[in-house]
Structure 1
Amino acid sequence: MSATPRAAAYQALKHALRDHLPAARLIDDPLRTLAYGTDASFYRLIPRLVVRVESEPELQAVLAECRQRCLPLTFRAAGTSLSGQALTDSVLIQLGKTWRDAEVLDGGDSIRLEPGVIGARANALLAPFGRKIGPDPASLASCMIGGIAANNASGMCCGTAQNSYQTVEDMRVILPDGALLDTADAASVAAFREHHADLLQQLEALAAGVRANTTLADRIRHKYRLKNTTGYALNSLVDFADGIEILKHLMIGSEGTLGFIASITYRSMVDEANKAAALALFPDMAAACRATMLLKPTPVSAVELMDHAALRSVQGMPGMPAALNDLPEGATALLIDVRGSSEAELEARLGQVQDAVADVATLSPLSFTRDSTTYGAYWKVRKGLFPAVGAVRDNGTTVVIEDVAFPIDRLETGVAALSGVFQRHGYDDAILFGHALDGNLHFVFPQGFEKPGETERYQALMDEVAQLVGVEYGGSLKAEHGTGRNMAPYVELEWGRDAYQLMWDIKTLFDPEGLLNPEVMLSRDPGLHLKNLKPLPAADPLIDKCIECGFCESVCPSKQLTLTPRQRIVVRRELARLEALGAARYPEDQARLAELRDAYQYQAVDTCAADGLCATQCPVDINTGDLMRAMRHDQNRHQTRMARLAGGHFASMTRAARGVLRLAGWGRKLMGDAGMQAMSQAARKASGGRIPAWRSGMPAAAPVRVLDRRSSGPARAGKVVYLPSCATRMFGTGRDPQEERSVMEVTLALLDKAGFEVVVPSEVSSLCCGMAFQSKGQFEEGDRKAAEVERALLAASENGRWPILCDTSPCTLRLEERFESSLVVHDPVAFAHDQLLARLDITPLPERVALHVTCSSTRMGLGDKFHALAAACAREVVVPEGIDCCGFSGDKGFTVPELNASALDGLASRVAGCDAGYSNSRTCEIGLTEHGGIPYRSILSLLDRASRPKP
């Protein structure tokens, strides 16, 4: 059968784009189009072609080729948008890894950012200057600048004065016709004025017409007193007369429908370092709203409202204040945040705030805390509300989150009316919270669309909400999440016919063919928000609570190679859906299921590092690595006997590994790295990938006999049980002329220097934490080995009398998770920071060192101690941005070396100028050395070099 004309057009596009981009970045296979096409909304569209662009000329070429074939296209940054802005069933433009440049300007007063920069990184770059960017969405650690600007995202402290519209200084933008305008470049502006004079004149004419229409102009000004992201930024037509300024500000909040923001320069804001917060509990919503009105003129940074249902949803969760457990019905909270540039300023502002609400009844006295732990707990309450609903929803349902804004003087009655709407339509489990100072409320509820009548019930709810907020109260239907697909049918209802037609005029001026992100922002389809709803079938209890928000993606080491945790879950759900349908009855579904299964093995299972970092970012604590290990378990059941054999003869296995390393060392001397690489590749190919890859950073065999030696000095500090991991018992030193000792030798020397008597567990050569087995899905043998270690350490430590040190962080975490007794095992960072620093004289080395905080250290909360330990021992410490997990993942650095290479892409440039790097995992250090271009050693080596015994 010949391809349809539409399918033929996409094939022709793909063929034409091969003249501009590598074929590997033109993606149209079923698995990746599904995975890459998913965003955080409850809609699902699968692109026909995903194009990963790495430069402006590439993007311009894609625009030209799509325009020639009249094929729509959509831009995608992080895909954390909640309203369906980043979806398409046509061409999806995915930002490649090159769109991450950032430059601090004018001593921190401004910052230029490319669209692939994660919001939190921008603030990290500005932090040394005491500055930050204005927008502060809750997804700041995951969302990208492109999405922040294109949606005019705001947040908890941003309000209307510090959003992208108000703080943009300059912009580099590419229009649908391929034209590039850089508003910071006078030559670019001049050229644009010459070649696009008609566009600028028409924009200026629209602005003049609006200002002449005083009724419309006043309505626009009135609407933007509130947070408002419904439709285009019509305030640009009353705020500016010059076409360049109008264009620049129209791009903010345009959701990729007018052009592509290639970079944006923000005016930065002061980041006040002194902070205090109070969780104020009120007897009812009315009292909380009155307090909000009184707080509006005071110097507060944020006032976050949480209704009784919202507070109830987080009761009893870890880290939640005990005061939430016994709240009376109707109780409402305000999280009041106050900040100052100095302690004196903070104190003065706290006084003003407390005086303002002194006469409003509260359930307990208003008390502000400056304690960082309590402060963090208060904000954890607020940030835990959205995921709390996601965690308890029924399988097969999604979570809908909407955000509206009421005029602040009508907040109390607006909240009451909105609650009544929910009750009338049977949404008794909806919760309300939001940015009270701006009248900005989020409402969250679980929603299924599979059962009869559910779609109609949802439509009736949204119709009434739109009428209530947009018409009766004159509020905003979208305050900060962007219009997207789910509010596009209601834009005219909120704005009225004249303003709505003005928006269509703007769209037509920029994009006359309607190819950029069609049906987003503006749509003639009144039922658009009820179409293309995302299926969320039950797939596995480990992942069923995933809300596909994408917060996990920024820390995933495979994000540039294959799939992210969110994408692994998306495809696993599609597999479950097809399996449940009985795909064998439908040939097209059967073929799709088979293709997805085949591709999923490498794209998801084989290339998952299973490092658990995704769980640290996940609102509902999902560790996608658990799912991948479970799948490996099911696939490797036939290898259980072999795993038991290996575990039972572990000493022989490690001895054999050291023998192989010695042979490899001789081979390297004879053939060099190039020869070993060629031989390794040939052997891997012949073995079907079962023989590990040769690494240029491959170390020598470890000298295990050093464990037989005894401490040389008096045991001033008592005993310590030292558990060397199997990795340090196998891998010795690399080709590092400054470090001729293995990790075991360094550790023993350091403990001796600090005055510890070292106890090594008996039969240590047979011990293993079990991670090597667990990561392959051999759970039974992994648990047996962990239990074996526990018994050995109980004996060696005299049932926990003596502290226990493991020299490898991942092994420490594994034992911490598996031990049934109360034994505590310290990783090298925690032990060195807590036990060794005080027992040694430290002289910082005149060196610039790089620090790699392993994923296990992050999960154990050791990042601050890691940095403090390194800072005590070296002149300057560099933590390379964007390197969260090295991707070596036990032995995957040998079996899937491309994962390690992808995770560490760009490391060398980030650590350039460093004398050496330090970490706390021997295998991680192998990959870091190879890809960083500097030697990486154990953090204990740095401490040993910078210390001497105390007199």
Structure 2
Amino acid sequence: MTTLPSDSGVTALLAACRNVSTDPADRARGGVDRSGYVPASIPDRIIYAESTDDVVQALRLATHYRVPIVPRGAGTGLAGGSCATAGSVVLDVSRMDKILSIDPVEQQAVVQPGVLNAEVNAATAPYGLFYAPDPASTAICSIGGNVATNAGGMWCAKYGVTRESVLSLQVVLADGRILKTGRNTIKGVSGYDLNALIIGSEGTLGVVVEATLRLRPQPLHTATVAAYFADAPAAARAASAIIDARIQPSILEFIDGGTLAAVDAMMGTDHARRGNAFLLAQTDGYGALLEQQVLIEAITPYATSVEHTDDAGRAAELVAARRNAIPALQLLGRVSIGDIGVSRKRLAEAVQGLAEISTRTGVKIFVIAHAADGNLHPMVVVGNDESITEGPAKVALGEMFHLAQRLGGTLTGEHGIGLLKQDWLEEEVGALSLELQHKIKAVFDPLGILNPGKGI
């Protein structure tokens, strides 16, 4: 159980650490993420770690003085997982931002947690390699945060999420010991898979200080399809038709009409005039153009218009519509980004169910989705002075989860539980599973000082 630290304990911890900020503005920024959740107070201090030794020292002292520690990377989380309040100290690892090595033969890169996702791809591109997990926030999210939430992205349609692309980790435990998980080989089954356990644990089991990433060869050919539809259910049915056609697209993304209009307003594009829903698909590899043709045949019965290209410039313009969806909606108000998952064949039912929730609650809900794996991101947009954690917005979030549950799905596909989704976790995983997870947490962090109150 977490106990509140004494003032002298916090003082002693901070006196022993380098790069500590007491500035209220720093503390306010360092206590929030991009979820829209607003903490009731700000953390006591922020420690900016610049090395593994800094993290080790901070956690040893935090354990000694019983000080709750909130690990933080780029702060782009969407579930309140790195939010912090009074009584806690933020351990910011964003300054640990070095790419330590790239091995083009083994197709691996070793990086620190503060390295941005896009920076990995910029560094590996000259070798003809890329790192597959690519959240929409690739330009601003860090590898440490990606590991903490098992982040996905558009390429996860073909290449999998973070767990499939992280071979090994160095993790500092709550008491300052350094744990090595995984291995640098592609295969290995020695012992329990602690690497997979750490990935997605939201900073509640340890602080990642180094990651060995699996890279992949850049595809020599990429073909892009942009299809427009009369309504969102038609687009969702077209996505299911692609799966039924036994095609493995590298990207398959869904955007509803309201989101298209917001993107157009921000970017000056005309997507919403071309349809009330949108599918973006890419195929890659030597058979990219052949697969593209099969894909077009699968969706044509549902679409009002279809554009296809193998021009990299035009493809980038189309992909930008999806990458800018969330920033466009953030211009409309405070955004809470949902993260439900359903089986791919039930995507259309989920889209229709979300529209019904919006009508019933009076809450504006916009929908984008990784359609290839059934991971929907329903986004609640409220006024900048309105809450997302109470009132109609929270009712809508709860109904989203129950919709996913009725369709045999999940509360979160890639954003994590954080603070925002705890009310519904036990209902999904069951009491026994949650009990065992609490026991695992106690093994790694017996005092409960690591990101207390988050995840489980």
Looking at structure 2, the residues matched to 157 and 339 of structure 1 have their Cα atoms a distance apart, in angstroms, of 11
Partner of 1:300: 249
Output the CA distance in 2 between the equivalents of 1:129 and 1:79: 30
Secondary structure in structure 2 of the residue aligned to 1:81: coil
Residue equivalent to 1:458: 393
Q: Residue 114 of structure 2 contacts residue 142 of structure 2 at CA under 8 Å; is this kept in 1? A: yes
What is the alpha-carbon distance in structure 2 between the residues aligned to residue 510 and residue 81 of structure 1?
23
**Aligned residue number for residue 673 of structure 1:** none
Q: Which of 437, 447, 450 is the aligned partner of 1:516?
A: 450
Question: Which residue of the other structure, out of 310, 313, 318, is the alignment partner of 2:262?
Answer: 313
Q: Structure 1 residues 185 and 179 mapped into 2: Cα distance closer, same or farther (>3 Å)?
A: farther
Alpha-carbon spacing, 1:406–1:68, altered in 2? closer, same or farther (3 Å)? same
Counterpart residue identity of residue 137, structure 2 = S
**Partner residue of 1:137 out of 135, 138, 162:** 135
Q: Which residue of 2 aligns with 1:362?
A: 303
Cα distance in 1 between the residues matched to 2:29 and 2:289 = 50
- Paired residues of 2:137 and 2:323 also in contact (CA < 8 A): no
Residue in 1 aligned with 2:290? 348
SS in 2 for 1:148: helix
Change in 2 beyond 3 A, CA 1:308/1:11 = same
* Residue 430 (str. 1) matches residue 370 (str. 2): no
1:515 is displaced (CA, Å) by 0.6
Q: Which has the larger radius of gyration?
A: 1
Say if 1:143 and 1:131 are closer, same or farther in 2 by CA, change over 3 A: same
Alignment partners' CA distance in 1, 2:308 and 2:411: 33
Taking structure 1 as reference, are residues 431 and 65 closer, same or farther at Cα in structure 2, changes over 3 Å only?
A: same
Distance in 2 of aligned mates of 1:388 and 1:316? 8
Runs (4+) off by over 6 Å: 451-454
The answer to whether the 8 Å contact 1:466/1:494 transfers is no
Check the 8 A contact 2:99/2:120 in 1, yes or no: no
Matched, 1:280 2:227: yes
Distance in 2 (alpha carbons) for counterparts of 1:65 and 1:452 = 36
> 2 CA distance for matches of 1:102 and 1:451?
44
Q: Say whether residues 1:506 and 2:455 are aligned partners.
A: no
Q: Which AA in structure 2 matches 1:85?
A: G
For 1:169 and 1:361, the matched residues in 2 are separated by: 41
Trace 1:101-250 onto structure 2 (pairs within 5 A). 101-107=99-105, 109-159=107-157, 161-183=159-181, 242-243=190-191, 245-250=192-197
**Superposed counterparts of 1:557-636, under 5 Å:** none
Q: How does 1:401-800 map to 2 (within 5 A)?
A: 401-427=337-363, 429-448=364-383, 455-469=390-404, 471-522=405-456
Q: Do residues 324 (structure 1) and 268 (structure 2) align?
A: no
Look up the match of 2:204: 257
**Offset of residue 167 of structure 1:** 2.2
**Which amino acid in the other structure matches residue 423 of structure 2?**
P
CA shift in 2, pair 1:112/1:454, >3 Å: closer
- Determine if contact 2:99/2:115 at 8 Å carries over to the other structure: yes
How far 1:304 moved relative to its partner? 0.9
TM-score scaled by length of structure 2: 0.90
Structure 1 residue 403 displacement after superposition: 1.5
Q: Is residue 32–residue 84 contact of structure 2 (8 Å, CA) maintained in 1? A: no
Which consecutive residues of structure 2, in runs of 5 or more, have no partner in the other structure?
none
Amino acid at match of 1:422: S
Q: Distance in 1 between matches of 2:189 and 2:5?
A: 45
**Structure 1's 40 and 449: CA in aligned 2 closer, same or farther, altered over 3 A?**
closer
Deviation at 1:93, TM superposition (A): 0.7
Q: Which amino acid aligns with 1:354?
A: I
Aligned to 1:11: 11
Cα deviation, 1:403-461, whole Å, max 9, x if unaligned, reads 1111111111121112111210001x321111111111111232248569992222222
Q: Relative to 1, partners in 2 of residues 1:349 and 1:242: Cα closer, same or farther, differing over 3 Å?
A: same
Give the aligned partner of residue 26 of structure 2.
Answer: 32
The offset of 1:317, in angstroms, is: 4.8
Larger helix fraction of residues: 1
Compute the RMSD of aligned alpha carbons.
Answer: 2.6
2: CA distance, partners of 1:511 / 1:455: 31
Give the aligned length. Answer: 445
Amino acid at match of 1:306: I
Deviation by residue 1:481-525 (Cα, 9 ceiling, x = unmatched): 122110122211111122222211211111111110011101xxx
Structure 2 distance, partners of 1:347, 1:74, is 47
Offset at 1:160?
7.6
Q: Is the 8 A contact 1:492 1:500 kept in 2?
A: yes
Matched residues in 1 for 2:58 and 2:388: separation?
Answer: 42
SS at match of 1:107: coil
Alignment CA distance shift 1:46-1:473 (3 Å):
same
Q: Percent identity?
A: 30
Give the match for residue 337 of structure 1. 282
Q: CA deviation at 1:70?
A: 1.1
Secondary structure (helix, strand or coil) at the match of 2:302 reads coil
Task: Describe the SS at the equivalent of 1:310.
Answer: helix
Change (3 A) 1:315 1:30: closer
Distance, in Å, in 1 between the alignment partners of 2:367 and 2:104 is 41
Q: Matches of 1:497 and 1:362 in 2, distance apart? A: 44
| Offset of residue 29 of structure 1 | 3.1
Please give the TM-score of this superposition, normalised by the length of structure 1: 0.45
Contact 1:299 1:353 in 2 (8 A): no
Q: Does the residue aligned with 1:442 lie in a helix, a strand or coil?
A: strand
- 3-state DSSP of counterpart to 2:169: strand
**Cα distance in structure 1, aligned partners of 2:389 and 2:293:** 50
C-alpha separation in 2, matches of 1:338 and 1:310: 24
**Does the CA-based 8 Å contact 2:182-2:193 persist in structure 1?**
no
Aligned position for 2:311: 371
1:280 alignment partner, SS class: strand
Q: What is the SS of the residue equivalent to 1:176?
A: coil
- TM-superposition CA deviations, 1:874-931 (whole Å, max 9, x none): xxxxxxxxxxxxxxxxxxxxxxxxxxxxxxxxxxxxxxxxxxxxxxxxxxxxxxxxxx
| Equivalent AA in structure 1 for residue 252 of structure 2 | V
Aligned to 1:51, the other structure's residue is in SS state: strand
Q: Which has the higher strand share?
A: 2
- Deviation track 1:275-332 (CA, whole Å, cap 9, x = no partner) reads 23222112233322222122122132111111222223334554414x53264xxx32
Which amino acid counterpart does residue 271 of structure 1 have in structure 2? Answer: Q
Secondary structure at 1:491 match in 2? helix
Q: SS of the residue aligned with 1:117?
A: coil
CA 1:458 to 1:106, structure 2 compared with 1: closer, same or farther past 3 Å?
A: same
Equivalent-residue separation in structure 2 for 1:325 and 1:109 (angstroms):
43
Q: Could you give the per-residue CA deviations for residues 516-567 of structure 1, whole angstroms, max 9, x where no partner exists?
A: 0011101xxxxxxxxxxxxxxxxxxxxxxxxxxxxxxxxxxxxxxxxxxxxx
Gaps of at least 5 residues in structure 1 are: 187-238, 523-951
Residue of structure 1 in register with 2:43 after alignment: 47
Name 1:390's counterpart in structure 2: 330
Q: Following the alignment from structure 2 to structure 1, what is the Cα–Cα distance between the partners of residues 5 and 454? A: 25
Structure 1: which amino acid aligns with 2:400? V
- Answer yes or no: is the 8 Å Cα contact 2:158–2:249 preserved in 1: no
Q: 1:420 to 1:410 in 2, by over 3 A?
A: same
Q: Work out the CA distance in 2 between the residues paired with 1:58 and 1:452.
A: 37
Query: Which residue number corresponds to residue 855 of structure 1?
Result: none
Q: Any idea what SS the aligned residue of 1:500 has?
A: helix
AA of the residue aligned to 1:459: K
- Rounded Cα–Cα distance in structure 1 between residues aligned with 2:182 and 2:339: 34
Q: 1:316 to 1:185 in 2, by over 3 A?
A: closer
Amino acid at match of 1:348: L
In 2, distance between residues paired with 1:387 and 1:409? 29
| Kept in 1: contact 2:117–2:141 (CA 8 A) | yes
Q: 2:242, 2:105 → 1: CA distance? A: 33
Q: Compare 399-408 and 451-460 and name the one that shifted more.
A: 451-460
* Structural mapping, 1:902-941, within 5 Å: none
Q: 1:266 aligns with which of 202, 210, 213?
A: 213
